[in-house]
Protein backbone atom coordinates (compact mmCIF):
# COMPACT_ATOMS: atom_id res chain seq x y z
CA UNK A 1 0.00 0.00 0.00
CA UNK A 2 2.88 2.41 0.68
CA UNK A 3 5.99 1.14 -1.09
CA UNK A 4 4.48 -0.74 -4.07
CA UNK A 5 7.36 -3.23 -4.00
CA UNK A 6 6.98 -6.05 -6.50
CA UNK A 7 6.86 -9.59 -5.17
CA UNK A 8 6.57 -8.57 -1.53
CA UNK A 9 4.40 -10.79 0.58
CA UNK A 10 1.68 -8.83 2.33
CA UNK A 11 1.52 -9.24 6.09
CA UNK A 12 -1.44 -8.88 8.38
CA UNK A 13 -1.38 -5.38 9.79
CA UNK A 14 -3.49 -4.34 12.74
CA UNK A 15 -5.89 -1.57 11.72
CA UNK A 16 -5.60 -0.15 15.19
CA UNK A 17 -2.12 -0.89 16.55
CA UNK A 18 -1.74 -4.14 18.47
CA UNK A 19 -0.38 -2.42 21.59
CA UNK A 20 -3.76 -0.75 22.12
CA UNK A 21 -5.40 -4.11 22.83
CA UNK A 22 -2.84 -4.82 25.55
CA UNK A 23 -4.39 -1.93 27.51
CA UNK A 24 -7.64 -3.91 27.74
CA UNK A 25 -8.78 -7.31 29.02
CA UNK A 26 -7.99 -10.06 26.55
CA UNK A 27 -11.57 -11.25 26.25
CA UNK A 28 -13.10 -7.79 25.92
CA UNK A 29 -15.38 -7.52 22.90
CA UNK A 30 -16.28 -4.20 21.41
CA UNK A 31 -18.44 -2.65 18.75
CA UNK A 32 -16.67 -1.72 15.55
CA UNK A 33 -18.23 0.86 13.32
CA UNK A 34 -17.31 2.15 9.89
CA UNK A 35 -19.43 4.74 8.18
CA UNK A 36 -19.55 6.99 5.16
CA UNK A 37 -22.25 8.87 3.29
CA UNK A 38 -24.02 5.73 2.16
CA UNK A 39 -22.71 2.85 4.25
CA UNK A 40 -22.78 2.10 7.94
CA UNK A 41 -21.26 -1.19 9.06
CA UNK A 42 -21.30 -2.28 12.67
CA UNK A 43 -19.83 -5.51 13.98
CA UNK A 44 -18.62 -7.11 17.24
CA UNK A 45 -15.07 -8.28 17.77
CA UNK A 46 -12.11 -8.30 20.14
CA UNK A 47 -11.15 -4.70 20.75
CA UNK A 48 -8.36 -3.41 18.53
CA UNK A 49 -7.66 -6.81 16.99
CA UNK A 50 -8.99 -6.25 13.49
CA UNK A 51 -6.34 -7.01 10.89
CA UNK A 52 -6.02 -6.47 7.16
CA UNK A 53 -3.50 -7.55 4.53
CA UNK A 54 -2.39 -4.26 3.10
CA UNK A 55 1.26 -3.66 3.83
CA UNK A 56 4.42 -5.67 3.23
CA UNK A 57 6.59 -7.03 6.06
CA UNK A 58 9.31 -4.56 5.21
CA UNK A 59 6.99 -1.61 5.90
CA UNK A 60 5.04 -3.21 8.75
CA UNK A 61 8.09 -4.23 10.77
CA UNK A 62 10.23 -1.31 9.69
CA UNK A 63 9.22 2.32 9.57
CA UNK A 64 5.58 1.74 10.58
CA UNK A 65 6.62 -0.16 13.66
CA UNK A 66 9.12 2.61 14.48
CA UNK A 67 6.31 5.19 14.41
CA UNK A 68 4.25 3.06 16.82
CA UNK A 69 7.25 2.66 19.12
CA UNK A 70 7.97 6.33 19.48
CA UNK A 71 4.33 7.47 19.71
CA UNK A 72 2.75 4.79 21.90
CA UNK A 73 3.22 6.62 25.21
CA UNK A 74 1.83 9.88 23.76
CA UNK A 75 -1.30 8.29 22.28
CA UNK A 76 -1.89 6.28 25.46
CA UNK A 77 -1.71 9.37 27.61
CA UNK A 78 -4.00 11.39 25.29
CA UNK A 79 -6.55 8.63 24.86
CA UNK A 80 -6.63 6.72 28.12
CA UNK A 81 -5.37 8.84 31.00
CA UNK A 82 -6.53 12.08 32.52
CA UNK A 83 -3.17 13.54 33.49
CA UNK A 84 -2.62 17.11 32.41
CA UNK A 85 0.60 17.90 30.62
CA UNK A 86 2.26 20.16 28.09
CA UNK A 87 2.28 18.94 24.55
CA UNK A 88 5.44 20.14 22.83
CA UNK A 89 6.21 20.77 19.16
CA UNK A 90 8.06 17.45 18.95
CA UNK A 91 5.16 15.61 20.61
CA UNK A 92 2.82 17.16 18.07
CA UNK A 93 5.06 16.10 15.19
CA UNK A 94 5.12 12.49 16.39
CA UNK A 95 1.37 12.34 16.98
CA UNK A 96 0.68 13.96 13.60
CA UNK A 97 2.75 11.33 11.81
CA UNK A 98 0.97 8.55 13.70
CA UNK A 99 -2.47 10.02 12.94
CA UNK A 100 -1.70 10.50 9.24
CA UNK A 101 -0.27 6.99 8.90
CA UNK A 102 -3.22 5.46 10.78
CA UNK A 103 -5.80 7.37 8.70
CA UNK A 104 -4.16 6.18 5.47
CA UNK A 105 -4.27 2.56 6.70
CA UNK A 106 -7.88 2.91 7.86
CA UNK A 107 -8.95 4.41 4.56
CA UNK A 108 -7.67 1.31 2.76
CA UNK A 109 -8.90 -1.07 5.46
CA UNK A 110 -12.40 0.29 5.13
CA UNK A 111 -12.12 0.36 1.32
CA UNK A 112 -15.35 -0.08 -0.53
CA UNK A 113 -17.16 1.92 2.09
CA UNK A 114 -18.68 4.59 -0.10
CA UNK A 115 -17.03 5.82 -3.26
CA UNK A 116 -14.16 7.76 -1.78
CA UNK A 117 -10.50 6.71 -1.68
CA UNK A 118 -7.53 8.85 -0.64
CA UNK A 119 -5.39 9.43 -3.77
CA UNK A 120 -2.16 7.44 -4.05
CA UNK A 121 -0.01 10.58 -3.90
CA UNK A 122 -0.62 10.92 -0.15
CA UNK A 123 0.67 7.37 0.43
CA UNK A 124 3.74 7.91 -1.73
CA UNK A 125 4.68 11.18 -0.04
CA UNK A 126 4.34 9.76 3.48
CA UNK A 127 6.38 6.71 2.51
CA UNK A 128 9.13 8.78 0.90
CA UNK A 129 9.48 11.43 3.59
CA UNK A 130 8.35 9.60 6.77
CA UNK A 131 7.46 13.09 7.98
CA UNK A 132 4.12 14.78 8.62
CA UNK A 133 2.46 15.84 5.37
CA UNK A 134 1.97 19.61 5.29
CA UNK A 135 -1.15 19.29 3.12
CA UNK A 136 -2.91 17.11 5.69
CA UNK A 137 -4.08 19.32 8.54
CA UNK A 138 -4.52 17.63 11.91
CA UNK A 139 -6.24 19.06 14.96
CA UNK A 140 -7.22 17.36 18.16
CA UNK A 141 -9.99 17.67 20.66
CA UNK A 142 -10.70 16.32 24.11
CA UNK A 143 -13.56 13.88 24.59
CA UNK A 144 -14.88 13.17 28.08
CA UNK A 145 -15.42 9.46 27.77
CA UNK A 146 -16.78 8.96 31.26
CA UNK A 147 -18.35 5.82 32.69
CA UNK A 148 -21.79 7.21 32.05
CA UNK A 149 -21.27 7.43 28.29
CA UNK A 150 -21.84 3.80 27.35
CA UNK A 151 -23.54 4.72 24.10
CA UNK A 152 -20.32 6.32 22.86
CA UNK A 153 -17.88 4.17 20.86
CA UNK A 154 -14.42 3.58 22.33
CA UNK A 155 -12.99 4.18 18.89
CA UNK A 156 -14.47 5.34 15.64
CA UNK A 157 -13.36 6.41 12.19
CA UNK A 158 -15.18 8.34 9.53
CA UNK A 159 -13.93 9.74 6.25
CA UNK A 160 -15.50 11.58 3.35
CA UNK A 161 -14.80 13.83 0.43
CA UNK A 162 -15.61 17.51 0.80
CA UNK A 163 -17.84 18.63 -2.02
CA UNK A 164 -18.37 22.28 -1.29
CA UNK A 165 -15.60 24.81 -0.88
CA UNK A 166 -15.79 28.50 -0.11
CA UNK A 167 -13.38 30.53 -2.20
CA UNK A 168 -12.61 34.10 -3.14
CA UNK A 169 -13.95 34.88 -6.58
CA UNK A 170 -10.54 35.21 -8.16
CA UNK A 171 -9.38 31.82 -6.97
CA UNK A 172 -12.70 30.07 -7.53
CA UNK A 173 -12.06 29.42 -11.22
CA UNK A 174 -8.59 28.05 -10.52
CA UNK A 175 -10.09 25.82 -7.85
CA UNK A 176 -12.83 24.54 -10.11
CA UNK A 177 -10.30 23.73 -12.82
CA UNK A 178 -8.11 21.75 -10.43
CA UNK A 179 -11.06 19.86 -9.01
CA UNK A 180 -12.22 18.96 -12.52
CA UNK A 181 -8.77 17.46 -13.00
CA UNK A 182 -9.04 15.23 -9.95
CA UNK A 183 -7.79 17.49 -7.16
CA UNK A 184 -9.88 17.11 -4.05
CA UNK A 185 -10.34 17.75 -0.35
CA UNK A 186 -11.15 15.02 2.13
CA UNK A 187 -11.90 15.06 5.81
CA UNK A 188 -11.74 12.40 8.51
CA UNK A 189 -12.55 12.10 12.18
CA UNK A 190 -10.71 9.52 14.28
CA UNK A 191 -11.84 9.10 17.88
CA UNK A 192 -9.86 6.98 20.30
CA UNK A 193 -10.75 7.00 23.98
CA UNK A 194 -10.52 10.57 25.21
CA UNK A 195 -8.95 12.07 22.12
CA UNK A 196 -10.58 13.00 18.81
CA UNK A 197 -8.52 13.87 15.75
CA UNK A 198 -9.98 15.97 12.97
CA UNK A 199 -8.03 15.64 9.74
CA UNK A 200 -8.37 17.54 6.45
CA UNK A 201 -6.27 16.63 3.44
CA UNK A 202 -6.03 18.25 0.03
CA UNK A 203 -3.94 17.97 -3.10
CA UNK A 204 -5.13 21.31 -4.44
CA UNK A 205 -2.28 23.72 -5.11
CA UNK A 206 -2.34 27.19 -3.67
CA UNK A 207 -3.42 28.84 -0.48
CA UNK A 208 -6.55 27.28 0.85
CA UNK A 209 -8.26 27.74 4.15
CA UNK A 210 -9.63 24.33 4.95
CA UNK A 211 -11.61 22.72 7.68
CA UNK A 212 -11.23 25.21 10.46
CA UNK A 213 -12.46 23.34 13.53
CA UNK A 214 -13.94 25.22 16.46
CA UNK A 215 -10.78 26.57 18.13
CA UNK A 216 -12.25 26.23 21.61
CA UNK A 217 -12.76 22.51 21.11
CA UNK A 218 -9.88 21.69 18.74
CA UNK A 219 -6.24 22.65 18.70
CA UNK A 220 -4.33 22.39 15.45
CA UNK A 221 -1.17 20.28 15.72
CA UNK A 222 -0.24 20.17 12.03
CA UNK A 223 0.94 22.48 10.59
CA UNK A 224 2.37 23.41 14.00
CA UNK A 225 0.98 26.53 15.68
CA UNK A 226 1.99 26.49 19.35
CA UNK A 227 2.53 24.28 22.37
CA UNK A 228 -0.67 22.89 23.81
CA UNK A 229 -1.60 22.17 27.36
CA UNK A 230 -3.63 18.99 27.56
CA UNK A 231 -6.46 18.44 28.20
CA UNK A 232 -7.88 21.41 26.29
CA UNK A 233 -10.08 23.98 28.00
CA UNK A 234 -13.38 22.58 26.65
CA UNK A 235 -14.37 19.01 25.89
CA UNK A 236 -16.24 18.34 22.64
CA UNK A 237 -19.28 17.47 24.78
CA UNK A 238 -19.74 21.24 25.15
CA UNK A 239 -20.84 21.36 21.50
CA UNK A 240 -22.74 18.11 21.30
CA UNK A 241 -19.94 15.54 21.37
CA UNK A 242 -18.78 13.20 18.63
CA UNK A 243 -22.07 13.25 16.74
CA UNK A 244 -21.90 17.03 16.39
CA UNK A 245 -18.24 16.92 15.35
CA UNK A 246 -19.03 14.36 12.66
CA UNK A 247 -21.98 16.36 11.38
CA UNK A 248 -19.76 19.42 11.04
CA UNK A 249 -17.10 17.53 9.02
User: Looking at beta carbons only, is 56 or 95 nearer to Zn ion?
Assistant: 56
Query: Least distance (Å) from Zn ion to the CB of residue 57?
Result: 8
Give every CB contact of residue 188 below 8 A, 6+ residues apart in sequence.
103, 106, 107, 157, 158, 159, 160, 197, 198, 199, 200, 201, 249
> Interface with Zn ion includes 175 (CB under 5 A)?
no
Query: Least distance (Å) from Zn ion to the CB of residue 30?
Result: 29
Letters for 8-47 (x = contact with Zn ion by CB under 5 A, - = none) are: ----------------------------------------
Query: Least distance (Å) from Zn ion to the CB of residue 6?
Result: 11
User: Looking at beta carbons only, is 116 or 127 nearer to Zn ion?
Assistant: 127
Options 2-10, 79-87, 102-110, 155-163: segment touching Zn ion (CB under 5 A) = 2-10
User: Looking at beta carbons only, is 4 or 82 nearer to Zn ion?
Assistant: 4
User: Looking at beta carbons only, is 1 or 188 nearer to Zn ion?
Assistant: 1
Query: Least distance (Å) from Zn ion to the CB of residue 160?
Result: 27
User: Looking at beta carbons only, is 15 or 138 nearer to Zn ion?
Assistant: 15
Query: Least distance (Å) from Zn ion to the CB of residue 63?
Result: 9
The alpha carbon of 131 is separated from its chain's Cα centroid by a whole number of angstroms, namely: 15
User: Looking at beta carbons only, is 102 or 213 nearer to Zn ion?
Assistant: 102
Three-class DSSP labels, the chain: CCCCCCCCCEEEEECCCHHHHCCCCCCCEEEEEEECCCCEEEEEEECCCCEEEEEEHHHHHCHHHHHHHHHHHHHHHHHHCCCCEEECHHHHHHHHHHHHHHHHHHHHHCCCCCCCCCCHHHHHHHHHHCCCCCCEEEEEEECCCCCCCCCCCCEEEEEEECCCCCCCHHHHHHHHHHHHCCCCEEEEEEEECCEEEEEEEECCCCCCCCCCCCCCCEEEEECCCCCEEECCCCEHHHHCHHHHHHHCC
Query: Least distance (Å) from Zn ion to the CB of residue 189?
Result: 27
Give every CB contact of residue 57 below 8 A, 6+ residues apart in sequence.
8, 9, 11
Letters for 46-65 (x = contact with Zn ion by CB under 5 A, - = none) are: ----------x-xx------
From 3, 52, 183, 204, residue interacting with Zn ion (rule: CB under 5 A): 3
Q: Which residues bind Zn ion (CB under 5 A)?
A: 3, 56, 58-59
Amino acid sequence: MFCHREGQKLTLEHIYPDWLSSLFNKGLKGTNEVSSDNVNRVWQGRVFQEKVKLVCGHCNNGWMSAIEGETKHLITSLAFTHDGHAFSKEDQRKVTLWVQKTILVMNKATGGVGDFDIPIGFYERLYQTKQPLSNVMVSMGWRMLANGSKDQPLASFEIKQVNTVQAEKKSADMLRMQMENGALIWTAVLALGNVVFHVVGTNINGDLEVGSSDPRMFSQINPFVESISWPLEWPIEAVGGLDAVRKAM
